[in-house]
């Protein structure tokens, strides 16, 4: 995937509730590089509460791509935090991003669900 060096590289985290279930939403903007991934993972871990599982939404609608190193560290963290994680939703219409997300799910043992819009997330 080509690198857009002009895009804003950031991941915004927010907590939300869908049908009474807690979600942590990641809004990926621009190209996810290793530095941005490490910062987002630190913020993710700070949001966790002992013994409580939280569902995740990876909103990739504004994501333009990702570095292999960023994907690997994210995948490792997903495996590490499996005991803290409920369901995972990927929001994207990009076939490359959806394919990579499904692969990450297989490698980390998650059944990742996909939707093309945030309204498509079901609990």
8 falls in which pLDDT band (50, 70, 90)?
low
* pLDDT computed for residue 123 by the predictor: 74
3-state SS of the chain is: CCCCCCCCCEEEEEEEEECCEEEEEEEEEEEECHHHHHHHHHHHHHHCCCCCCEEEEEEEEEEEEECHHHHHHHHHHHHHCHHHEEEEEEECCCHHHHHHHHHHHHHHCCCEEEECCHHHCCC
* pLDDT computed for residue 108 by the predictor: 81
Residue that has been written with the tokens 């994210």 in this structure: 74
**What domains, with CATH codes, occur in the chain?**
15-120 (3.30.750.24)
Residue 11's CB is within 10 A of a number of other CB atoms, namely 22
pLDDT, the chain, mean: 88
* pLDDT computed for residue 100 by the predictor: 83
* pLDDT computed for residue 5 by the predictor: 44
Is pLDDT of 2 > 50? Answer: no
Is pLDDT of 7 > 70? Answer: no
Which of 13-17, 49-53, 113-117 comes out lowest in average pLDDT?
Answer: 49-53
């Amino acid at each position: 995937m080509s690198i857009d060096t002009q895009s804003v590289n950031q991941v915004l985290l927010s907590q939300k509730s869908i049908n009474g279930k807690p979600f942590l939403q990641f809004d990926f903007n621009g190209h996810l590089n290793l530095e941005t991934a490490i910062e987002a993972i630190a913020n993710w871990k700070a949001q966790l509460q002992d013994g409580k599982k939280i569902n995740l939404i990876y909103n990739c609608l504004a994501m333009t791509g990702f570095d292999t190193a960023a994907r690997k560290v994210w995948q490792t963290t997903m495996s590490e935090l499996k005991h803290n994680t409920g369901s995972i939703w990927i929001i994207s219409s990009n076939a490359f991003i959806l394919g990579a997300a499904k692969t990450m799910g297989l490698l980390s043992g998650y059944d990742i669900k996909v939707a093309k819009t945030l309204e498509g997330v079901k609990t």
